A and B are shown apart, each in its own frame.
Chain A
Amino acid sequence: MTDRPNILILCTDQQRRDTLSCYGAIGAVTPNLDRLAAQGARFENAYVQNPICGPSRASLFTGMYVRNHGLWANGVSLPEDRQMFTRTLADAGYDCGMVGKQHLAACDGWQTEPRRDDGYRVWDWSHGKNHRSVQNAYLKWLHATYPDIYSAAFPEKGANENTHIANMSRTGTPIDAVPPHAHYTHWVATRVVDFVRTPRGDQPFFMMANFFDPHHPFGVPQEYRDRIDAAKIPLPVGFAGELRTKPADQEKYSRTSYGGEAPGFQDYTAEEIREIRAIYYAMITFIDDEVGRILAALDASGQADNTLVIFTSDHGEMLGDHSQLMKGPMMYDAAVRVPLLMRWPLRIATDTVVAPPVQWVDIAPTCLDAAAAGRMAQHQGASLLPLARGGDTAGWRDWAMCEYRDSGIAEDPAIMTTMLRKGDWKLVLWHGDPDTDRPPEGELYNLATDPAELNNLFDSPGHAGTRRRMKRALLDVYHQTEDRSAYRPAVA
């Protein structure tokens, strides 16, 4: 066995934190992920840097905050000079692979995502189930392996409206509900198992496994839907008239989702919302099964003890909470707080729970730390291994930050929001002039007394002091997170 661990990142898309039993989810069926959590560290307060896929993933791969890495919105390419930590791992001798969705460049209009200097030997790219790029590796596999299922799911040659149709679909598209053995989720795991089993002597591997689920459209094979009892899942949080106490755009994101690209919460009956939640949980149960298969392959190949397994997701999902679905400029925990599990039997004790806030910019430094591959100048986060190993948390930051810059569906005028979570408090600023013509608004929540974020204290006279303190703290955090990576020789 080599000293350096294998690193396996299992990354889902649009999965909020409170959807695993180990995070207290009621009605979820996630035995494999719960076991993974028990065998290592579970991070209670993991935040992404942006609630939208592209910008969030760019923070993962570059270790930089959104305003610094340059991929400020979906449809924007990561600038060429930003380096992926996977390249560094490859340079350090790792055998690197990627399966599934990456999203560091525009993929709209079935564009094939251009490869970067990413260090991957294996590149099984597939932006999603309904993404009809000629290079979509999942659809190529499906077409070759199950041509009948492929043809049934896509009877036509395909049109650019596919994405729109997927967004508008209320209970999933045909490709979401194909039999499990032909499903994207199963395909990802199959490719990962193949990669894990590849003989490579003493060379360690890095695998970035990207599941597309539980991203909308909300559809799942029936046998997984059957494993979820919709009645068990709690109803969405919210109360009548809630959105009148929140920034005005949330009302719009309640009427339609995705900036008007998808049906809104208000288009569904309460029963339908309940069903959406059940389907979402079923998609996660499907992933859980497939994660189990991957972990079994690790065990069977004798690599489990020296493999760092990281399970996380690129952002959350409103799932009907606060009368909203999907994602957008909203900075609720539902949208930006994600699961983060780490298992490395040789180094991380079982049943470790990490409470301090951590961020997605910390993941790249964590992987490089585990691989003893040094640190990249551009990295703005820090390795999580000391926390995962139960180290002293005294010097660790007590905040997390999230920056939305018209990052989802483009709005006119643009919507820009910034979140600071610090201690028990969360501040969300909805920005105004000079870069957008919207009236500035805000949210302030006490997560200790109001974890569901129902009670917006931003305009509460009794909390003006806290609001000001948080605004001042945000300006300090903003300063602290500036890009200082330009080369500066040591000054004597």
Chain B
Amino acid sequence: MPTIDRPNILLIDCADLGADGLVAAGAGSALQRLADAGKALTCQTANPMSGPARATLMTGRWPQAHGLWTNETFLPLRERLLSERLAAAGYFCGLIGRNHLAPVNGWRTEARRDDDGYRLWEWAHSPTHRARQNAWMAWLKKTAPDVHQDLFGRYGDPDATAPDHELLDKLARLSPGLSFNAWVADRAAAFLDMPRGRGQPWFLVAGLQMERFLDPQSALRRLDDSLGRILNALDERGMTGDTLVVLTSNGVEGQHLTPSGTGVPLILRWPGHPVPAADRAMPVDIAPTLCAAAGLPPCRRHQGRALFGTTDQPRDFAITIRRGAADAGMPDVSVYREGPWWLALDHSTGATALYDVANDPELLADLASMPEQAGRVERMMDRMMDCLIACEDRSQPRLGGF
């Protein structure tokens, strides 16, 4: 008799990890080993902002449909979370790290939804987010009180809207074993040991982060170390064979939309199951994939498709939008990518830009105004419009002819 008949599900959301992180991590990295044991798909974020992307991950819906259109916005109460669905199906659910389905600006403690299904809730938005309920900081205070005293002993400057350089410098020099990502790994291992019902499967959202106060290489190494520790924890408990691991990201939030910043890793590992036939997938596919793996019937409101158990290439197109970041100097932009071609619409200026990503990955040479590209620009706009319509929510059932 199998110990469980439904897989455990480990969802690792790596904030601000771009798709090239997998390449940069290189052979022997935990990221690469995970990909080797499963499959890494090509994926483009629906929205690189932390909140909208996480809401897409948890609702299986496009940002245009789930309503959390920019950071510091409440996910409308009508939306249903993956954790909620899995908990209702009997899963033991936990969250460690970031959630970001409600405002956290002003260092406020995120208002937790009362129906999210989590039995373990160890919320910490980031290592610099000084909410009183930041669980990493609480852990640090308990584990290394001196270090905590050094970093956070003083009250934060009430006037500060961002962490000061002194703090960032101290965070950068923090012992890796005390880092935010290390805490996530530590708590993930503890989650695995929590008492559960007999044969009860679990679902864990573990939020690793590319720590911005480190140089990219160090940040990636730290993230990868923690990923390795989490995967080892599965191995040590003999859970690897029963666990579906999904690793993804929102893309890179704080920069202009580029192929490297909007491409996101999507790695799936489910031992004993054929890897997905698809080579590409969309962020909205993740929630339906996990629900299907848990044996749940398809959700009407999910806008993507399950990736396992089908030989079809799923419906696939690459649309990324960013909204409401004008204060950070980033206008509302919509991007449609098709093969090597990158069409970017700036909605504040009405500008249209076309780039050849294959030859110009940094998006330096805008080809939109070249006469020979006029046809391509128009054809891509047509296709983009049709794809935007495919992102619309038409999930309300039709109960009659009129």
Say whether A484 faces chain B, with CB atoms less than 8 Å apart.
yes
Shortest CB-to-CB span from B155 to chain A, Å, is 18
Say whether A482 faces chain B, with CB atoms less than 8 Å apart.
yes
* Chain A residues near B389 (CB-CB < 8 A): 67, 405, 416, 418, 431, 435
Say whether A247 faces chain B, with CB atoms less than 8 Å apart.
no
Report the Cα distance A418→B386, complex, angstroms.
10
Contact in complex: A476, B394 (CB < 8 Å) = no
> Which among B72, B382, B385, B396 is the interface contact of A491 at CB below 8 angstroms?
B72
Report the Cα distance A261→B400, complex, angstroms.
14
Contact in complex: A480, B347 (CB < 8 Å) = yes
Contact in complex: A79, B396 (CB < 8 Å) = yes
Q: Which residue of A lies closest to B351 (CB)?
A: A472
Say whether A486 faces chain B, with CB atoms less than 8 Å apart.
yes
* Chain B residues near A162 (CB-CB < 8 A): none
* Chain A residues near B401 (CB-CB < 8 A): 74-75, 108, 163, 261, 409-410
* Chain B residues near A475 (CB-CB < 8 A): 334, 345, 381, 384-385, 388
CB contacts under 8 Å to A, within B42-91, are 64, 67-70, 72-78
The A interface, classified by DSSP as helix, strand, loop or mixed, is: loop
Interface string of B366-402 (1 = CB under 8 A from A): 0000000010011001101111111011111111111
Report the Cα distance A409→B400, complex, angstroms.
10
Contact in complex: B385, A434 (CB < 8 Å) = no
Report the Cα distance A54→B398, complex, angstroms.
12
Say whether A471 faces chain B, with CB atoms less than 8 Å apart.
yes
Contact in complex: A487, B106 (CB < 8 Å) = no
* Chain B residues near A419 (CB-CB < 8 A): none
> Which among A76, A163, A405 is the interface contact of B392 at CB below 8 angstroms?
A405
CB contacts under 8 Å to B, within A462-492, are 464, 467-468, 471-476, 478-480, 482-489, 491-492
Say whether A455 faces chain B, with CB atoms less than 8 Å apart.
no
Shortest CB-to-CB span from B78 to chain A, Å, is 5
**Contacts across chains A and B counted by CB atoms under 8 Å:** 146
Report the Cα distance A426→B390, complex, angstroms.
23
Q: Which residue of A lies closest to B332 (CB)?
A: A479
The B interface, classified by DSSP as helix, strand, loop or mixed, is: loop
Report the Cα distance A472→B352, complex, angstroms.
8
Interface size on A, residues (CB 8 A): 58
* Chain B residues near A405 (CB-CB < 8 A): 389, 392, 394
Contact in complex: B402, A476 (CB < 8 Å) = no
* Chain B residues near A70 (CB-CB < 8 A): 393, 395-396
> Which among A464, A479, A487 is the interface contact of B73 at CB below 8 angstroms?
A487
* Chain A residues near B72 (CB-CB < 8 A): 488-489, 491
* Chain A residues near B272 (CB-CB < 8 A): none
Say whether B350 faces chain A, with CB atoms less than 8 Å apart.
yes
Q: Which residue of A lies closest to B393 (CB)?
A: A70
Known: A431-B385, A435-B390. A75 touches B73 (CB 8 A): no
Contact in complex: A81, B390 (CB < 8 Å) = no
* Chain B residues near A106 (CB-CB < 8 A): 398-400, 402
On B, residues with C-beta under 8 Å from A are: 64, 67-70, 72-78, 103, 105-106, 161, 315, 317, 321, 323-324, 327, 332, 334, 345, 347, 350, 352, 374, 377-378, 381-382, 384-390, 392-402
List 6 other contacts, CB 8 Å, given A67-B389, A479-B332, A480-B347: A75-B399, A435-B389, A472-B381, A476-B347, A484-B69, A488-B70
On A, residues with C-beta under 8 Å from B are: 53-54, 67, 70-81, 103, 105-109, 111, 163, 261, 405, 409-410, 416, 418, 429, 431-435, 440, 464, 467-468, 471-476, 478-480, 482-489, 491-492
Top 4 A-B residue pairs of the complex, sorted by shortest distance between their CB atoms? A108-B400, A106-B400, A106-B399, A74-B402
